[in-house]
Every structure is written in C-alpha cells, then in structure tokens.
Structure 1
C-alpha cells in the first residue's frame, strides 16, 4: 500500500526533488503544523514563493503572500476559540481557515444559503465565538462578534509581528451537512494524517503538480473543501469567484487545466456555446444525470471524473471517463486504499448485482456529529446512507435508503426514475420523491423543469415504456426551477411548496 501511495504521488509530481530552501521550508512547516493548510502554504512559500496561489475577484496572491498574510491574521484569533466562516469563494475564506489552523482555533464552515433563524440556531449549537463574514450577509448574522471580510486586510496590516506558537493544538474543522431532508448538522471532519488521502484521489483523477484549478463548487461544502485541500498538496493555483456564472466559469477555464464543479453547474455550462480545453473536470456533491454525463463527454472530451461520497465518508468511489462512456450512470470504482461493501439490513454482503446498503472505509471517515451522534458502522466500514449495487465491478447508486418507497408492496427507487426522465427530450431537470397514497401506501411524484412540449401523460408514458408500472409517477408537476441549496443539491422537502406552472394528477380511481 505504501509503495502504491508513493508511486501515485511521484506520478502526480507531488514528490519531486527539492533544493535546500524547499526542503527546509517543507520540514519547518511540518514540524510546526503537521500536514495541514498551514503546512501547505508554508511549503508553497518555500518551494514556489512567487507562484500565484489564489486568483479571485480581488486580484492575485502568491504562495509567499498567503503564508505571510495568514500568519498575521492568525493573531486575530485564539487557541480553542470557535470561528464561523460565512464567506463565498475567495481569499477571505482561504485565509481565515488557514489562519485558524495556524493558531489552533476551531473552524465552522457555514452554508451561505442559511436563513437568519438557521444561522442563529447553528451559532448556538456549534458554540461559535467569532464570525468572519462577507458584508452581504450583515442582515442575517447572529448575535456574535464579527469581522467582515473587507476588514481582514486591516487586521493583517496591523497584526503583531510576534512569532506564532510552535505546534499549537489541532483545531477542529466542522462542516455542516447539506440539510436537504432536515436541519443541517455539524460534522467533525478529520485533518489528513498523511498524504495518503491525496494519493487516493490522485489514483483515479489525473491532476498534476502546478495545475491551475478553478473551484466553482462552494468551499464550505465537503466537495469544494476537498478540492481546496487537494489543490494545495499539488501546489496549484486556485481560481475562485464569489458567485457562479456559467459564462465567467468557462472564460476562467481558458487559463485552467482542471475544474471542480457540482452537477447543476455542469448543466448550466452546457447551455452556453463555449468549450475550453481542460484536462480534468471533476464533479461531485449530488447525482450526475446520465444525459449530462454523455453531453460533457461528447462536447468536452474524455475529461470528466465523477466522485461519489458524502460529508461523513468523504469518498466512496470515482468514475473515470472510460467507465462513464460505457455506463453513464455509474459511480465508478473505489480509489486507492478504499474499501466498499454492499450489505443487507443485517450487515451481510449481498450477491453481485443485488441492491443493498453502501458501506465505505477509507482514511477520511468523519469523527461524528457535534451533537454526539454518528453514522452506523459495520466491520470498520461506515454507512453512506445510500442504496446501491455492483455490476461488472462498477458501483451504481440507487438512491438514499430513506427515500426508497414501498408502493403496493414493491420497492421503488426515485433515483432510477430521475435518471430515466433526465434522458427525455425537453427535460432540463427533474426530481422524484415519494408521497402518501391511501391505496398503495406511497406513490411517486415527479417535479419537472423543461420546455412547453412536455405533458404529464408524456412523462408517464416514458416511464411506463422503460420501467415497471409501480415506478410510473401518478403526480407530475412542472416547475420553473427546482429548489436548491447553496451547494446545488435539490431540497426535496421544499418541492411541494414550490410554485408549479401546472400539475398532472391522474383522475380519481385511475
């Protein structure tokens, strides 16, 4: 295993010959901060001080500048203090999180889409002592002392020049769950103990040392955070924008070698004509519709990599372009050092091809929720909360285990119907969920975003022609857009309240 990790890191250019300056800086950073963000920027400042570390809406910062600025900013926080970050993608987020690492402060990554009430609740539950926030969120901030991101330059310029403490205690990193089916929970994310987690991702995604990487997915989300952490290991230049605009993202991609996105962003970019050349487009965070997979591979080339995982397990599998060309709906295979099991309700492995619960083991399983609860584990493997099956060595995700419905005694998976409907001409986006039914216990309802040619009968006929009769949605609603959170996930609990252009409910008794 160790040899495979080393070979992967060598191939990616992470392990390479170092001069005296690079070697001493790397060692000094490790001795002070272990393998953390602080170590990454100190290493970068020694190995490539003048390389651009961040390109954002405010300009360019080099690795040396980020290292120096975060050391100055770290004095604004205190060891053991819990700092909430409510910032869009940009230097304020990166520098605050790195400064917390340098001083040993806890960091809570806040979803920019939360309401004032939700933020107040999260601030209480996570015991946040200090906030760093973009000024645009001033009207929704909880009653917590706050530095606005446009004030950080002043803190940096006026920070004391005294050295930082050597080997401060490791601060805790708290990421909120997506909250698509309930209130968001705080998840304690681990810091990598070695470069093995980076090697795991690099074993399936061919990123390289010195890449220029656009991260359009939110940094507060697990996928954006992973992209940031991995990019730092690679000594990459990060291209960050406060908001997502498909035209701007594609323009930025002209200078990039790789891009990290969530699926809905890929859908938006496919609606624009520009197709820059990229070596890697990496996506995760929600289900990738097969139709989107096929179009990206056709129009951008064999550059798409899809990671399946969760806040709790980090990653489970990664699909390569070759695998998705063969099976557009696959989640791929486990990367280096990752174990995968499909088990029944008793924890017993199911036969190949049978649907069961997905359990995963890797080096980055989370440490539990901050409320003291955790995820179910079996033999060192943790539940993803999803159902799936393995066919020809490839993983396929059937959907959330709490979203499967029983209709007339039959198990029905909304994800299967969503994937099918996404291939129908005229359908732009679709979400399928279970609703109560007096006769069958539950039934499916489809919420569709598409053109005017679509009708409820056409939707039902397409499902009836391709899936079993109990998978046909009895209710079909047409929306102008699906309700999504700031990370791009559909918030299914809000679907029934979303304004519909019209509905296609079957007549009584049908």
Structure 2
C-alpha cells in the first residue's frame, strides 16, 4: 500500500527532486504547521514562490504572497475560537481558512444558500464567535460579531510580521451537510495525517503538479473544498469566480488544464456553444445524469471523471472516462486504499448484482456531527446512506436508502426513474420522489423541466416501456426549473410539499 501511494505521488509530481530553497520551505512548513493548509502554502512559497496560487475576480496572488498574507491575517484571530465563513469563491475564503489553521481556530463553512432563520440556527448550534461574510449577505446575518470579506485587506496590510506559535492547537474544520431534507448539520472534517488521501484521488483522477484548475463548485461544499485541498498539494493555480457564469467558466477553461464542477453547472456549460480543450473535468456533489455524462464525453472528449461520495465519507468511488463511455450511469470503482461493501439490512454482503446498502472505508471518514451523533458503521466501514449494486466491479447508485419506496409490495428506486427520464428527448432536468398513495401505499411523482411539447403521458409511457409498472409516476409536474441549493443539489423537501 505504501509503495503504491509513493508511486502515485511521484507520477503526479507531488514527490520530486527539490532544490535547497524548496526543501527548506517544505521542512520549515512541516515543523511549524504539520500537514495542514498552512504547510501547503509554506511549502509552495519555498518550492515555487512566484507561481500563481489564486486567480480570482480581484486579480492574481502568488504562493509567496498567500503565505505572507495569511500569516498577517492569522493575528486577527484567536486560538480556539470558532469562525464562520459565509463567502463565495474568492481569495478571502481561502486566506481566512488558512489563517485559522495558522492560529488554531475552528473554521465553519456556511452555505451561501441558507435562509436568515437557518443561519441564526447554525450560528447558535455551532457556537460561532464571529463570522467572515461577503457584504451581499448582510441582511441575512444573525447577531454574531461579523467582519466583511472586503475589509480583510486592511487586516492583512496592517497585520504584524511577528512570528506565530509553533504547532498551534489543531483547529477543527466543520462542513455543513446539504440540508436538502432538513436542517443542515455540522460535520467535523478530519485533517489528513499524510498525503495518502491525495494519492487515493490521484490514483483515479490523473491531475498533475502545476495544473491550472478552475473550481466552479462552491468552496463551502465538500467537493469544492476537496478541489482546493488537492490543488494545494499539487502546487496548482486555482481559478475562482464569485458567481458561476457558464460563458465565463468556459473562457477561464481556455487557460486551464482541469475543471471541478457539479452536474448542474456542467449541464449549463453544455448549453453554451464553446468547447475549450481540457485534460480533466471532475464532477461530483450530486448525481451525474447519464445523458449529461454521455454528452460531455462526446463534446469534450474522454476527459470526464465522476466521483461518488458525501460530506461524511469523503469519497467512495470514481468513474473514469472509459468506464463512463461504457456505462454512463456508473459511479466507478473504489480508488487506492478504499474499501467498499454492499450489504443487506442485517449487515451481510448481498449477492453480486443485488441492491443493498453502501458502506465505505477510507482515511478521510468524518469525525461525527457536532451534535454528538454520527453515521452508522460496520466493521470499520461507514454508511453513505445510499443504496446500490455492483456490476463487473463497477458501482451503480440506486439513490438514498430513505428515498426508496414500497409500492404495492415492490421496492421502487426514484433514482432509476430519474436516470431513465433524463434520456427522454426534451427533458433537461428531472427529479423523482415518493408520495403517499391510498391504493398502493406509495407511488412516485416526477418533476420535469423540459420542452413545452412534453406531456405527462409521454413521461409515463417512456417509463412504462422501460421499467416495471410500479415505477410509472402517478403524478407528473412540469416546472420551469428545479429548486436547488447553492451547491446545486435539488431541494426535494420543497418538491415534496408541492407533490
């Protein structure tokens, strides 16, 4: 295992010969900060000080600049305090996170799509001492001391150059769950103890040292955060924009080698007539519709990688372009150092091809929710909360285990119907969920965005021709768009209220 990790890191260029300055920066950073964000920028300042670290709407910062600026900013925080970040994708988000690491403060990543009431609840639940927020969210902020991100520059400029504590207390990184079915919970993310987690992702996604990476997914989301952390390990240049615009994203991609996306942003880019050359498009954050996967591969070439995971388990599997070409609906195979099991309700492995509960083991399983609860575990593996099956070693996800319905005594999986309807001509977006039914106990309702020529009968006939009769939606609603949170996930609780 160690040999494979080292070989993967060497192939990616993470481990390579260093000059005296680069070696000194790496060692100095490790002795001061351990393997943290702070170490990453200290290392980068030694290895490639003049390389662009961040390109955003405000310009360019080098690795040396980010390292110095975050050391100055760290003096504005206190060890042990808890700082909420309510920011879009820009340098202030990354610099605040890194500064918290340098002083030993907790960072709580707040979803920019939360309502005023939800923010008040989260601020109280997470015991926030202060919030760093973009000014556009001023009207939503709770009664918590707040500093606006456009004021960070003055803190940095006026920050002292004096030394920071060596090996400060390890601050916690808290990521909120998506909250698509209820109130968001705080999930404690572990700090990697080594570079093995990076090697796991790099074993299936061939990113390279010095890549230029556009991160279109929100940094507050686990997928955007993973892109940032992995890019830092690779000494990459990160391209960030405060708001996603498909035309701007594709223009940025002309100067990039890789792009991290969520499926809905990928779909919007496919609606824009421009196809820059990229080596890697990495998608995660929600289910990737097979139709979107197939079209991306057709129009951008064999560059699409699809990661299946969650805030709690980090990653479970990754699909390569070759696997997606053969099976557009697959979630791929487990990467290096990852274990995967499909089990029944008693925790016993199911037969090949049978649907069961997905459990995962890797080095980045979360440390539990901040309310003291956790995910179910089994023999060192953690539940993803999803159902799925294996076919020829490839994982296929059927959907959330709490979304499966029993209709007329038959198990019915909404995700299977969603994937099928996404291939129907005229459908651009679709969500399917269970609703109560007097005759069968439960039935499905489909919420469809698409051409005006589509009818409920078209939808039902397409399902009837391809799936079992209990999968045919009882109700079909046509919408102008699906309700989504800021990370692009469909808010099914809102649809359920309508259905």
Q: Give the TM-score normalised by structure 2.
A: 0.99
What SS class does the counterpart of residue 75 from structure 2 fall into?
A: helix
Aligned to 2:123: 123
Which residue of structure 1 lines up, in the alignment, with residue 394 of structure 2?
Answer: 394
Structure 2 partner of 1:6: 6
Map 1:318-337 to 2 at 5 A. Answer: 318-337=318-337
Asked if 1:36 is matched to 2:36, the reply is yes
Runs of at least 5 residues in structure 2 that lack an aligned partner in the other structure? none
Deviation of 1:150 (Å):
0.5
- The correspondence of residues 201-280 of structure 1 with structure 2, limited to 5 A, is 201-280=201-280
- Structure 2: distance between partners of 1:161 and 1:423: 58
Partner deviation per Cα, 1:60-117 (whole Å, 9 max, x = no partner): 0000000000000000000000000000000010000000000000000000000111
CA contact 2:429–2:450 (8 Å) conserved in 1: yes
Cα distance in structure 2, aligned partners of 1:127 and 1:471: 45
- The equivalences for 1:98-137 within 5 A come to 98-137=98-137
Partner of 2:61: 61
Q: Which residue of 2 aligns with 1:385?
A: 385
Superimposed CA distance per residue, residues 362-419 of structure 1 (whole angstroms, 9 cap, x where no aligned partner): 0000000000000000000000000000001100000000000000000000000000
For 1:199, what is the secondary structure of its paired residue? helix
Correspondence for 1:506: none
Alpha-carbon deviation of 1:497?
Answer: 4.9
Tell me, in whole angstroms, the C-alpha distance in 2 between the residues paired with 1:53 and 1:419.
38
Match of 1:154?
154
Equivalent position of 1:190 in the other structure: 190
Return the alpha-carbon distance in structure 1 between the equivalents of residues 29 and 130 of structure 2.
26
Aligned to 1:507: none
Alpha-carbon distance in 2 for matches of 1:21, 1:45: 9
What is the match of residue 508 of structure 1?
none
Alignment RMSD? 0.7
Superposition deviation, residue 160 in structure 1: 1.7
Please report how far the alpha carbon of residue 453 of structure 1 lies from its aligned counterpart in structure 2 after TM superposition. Answer: 1.1
2:406 equivalent to 1:406: yes
Equivalent-residue separation in structure 1 for 2:446 and 2:140 (angstroms): 33
SS of aligned partner of 1:255: coil
- Give SS of 1:485's match: coil
After superposition, give the CA deviation of every residue in 1:119-160 in whole Å (9 maximum; x if it has no partner).
000000000001100000000011111110010010011112
Distance 1:217 1:291 in 2: 20
Deviation (angstroms), 1:221? 0.2
Please give the residue correspondences for 1:435-450 in structure 2 after superposition, counting only pairs within 5 Å.
435-450=435-450
Spell out the pairing of 1:280-429 with structure 2 (5 A cutoff): 280-429=280-429
Counterpart of 1:425 in 2: which secondary structure? coil
Contact 2:435–2:496 (8 Å) recurs in 1: no
Structure 1: distance between partners of 2:301 and 2:309: 24
Aligned residues: 499
8 Å contact from structure 2 (residues 210, 234) kept in 1: yes
Name the CA distance, whole Å, in 2 between partners of 1:71 and 1:42.
10
Q: Distance in 2 between matches of 1:467 and 1:327?
A: 18
Alpha-carbon distance in structure 2 between the residues aligned to 1:235 and 1:396 = 33
**C-alpha separation in 1, matches of 2:336 and 2:176:** 27
Distance 1:105 1:354 in 2: 46
CA deviation vs aligned residue, 1:429-475 (integer Å, no higher than 9, x gap): 00000000011100000000001110000000000000000000010
Given the two structures, how large is their TM-score scaled by the length of structure 1? 0.97
Write the distance in 1 (CA, Å) between the matches of 2:440 and 2:395. Answer: 31
Q: CA deviation at 1:496?
A: 4.2
- Helix, strand or coil at the partner of 2:340: strand
Aligned to 1:17: 17
Distance 2:177 2:32 in 1: 31
Equivalent runs, 1:429-508 vs 2, <5 Å:
429-497=429-497
- Mapped contact 2:217–2:262 kept (Cα < 8 A): yes
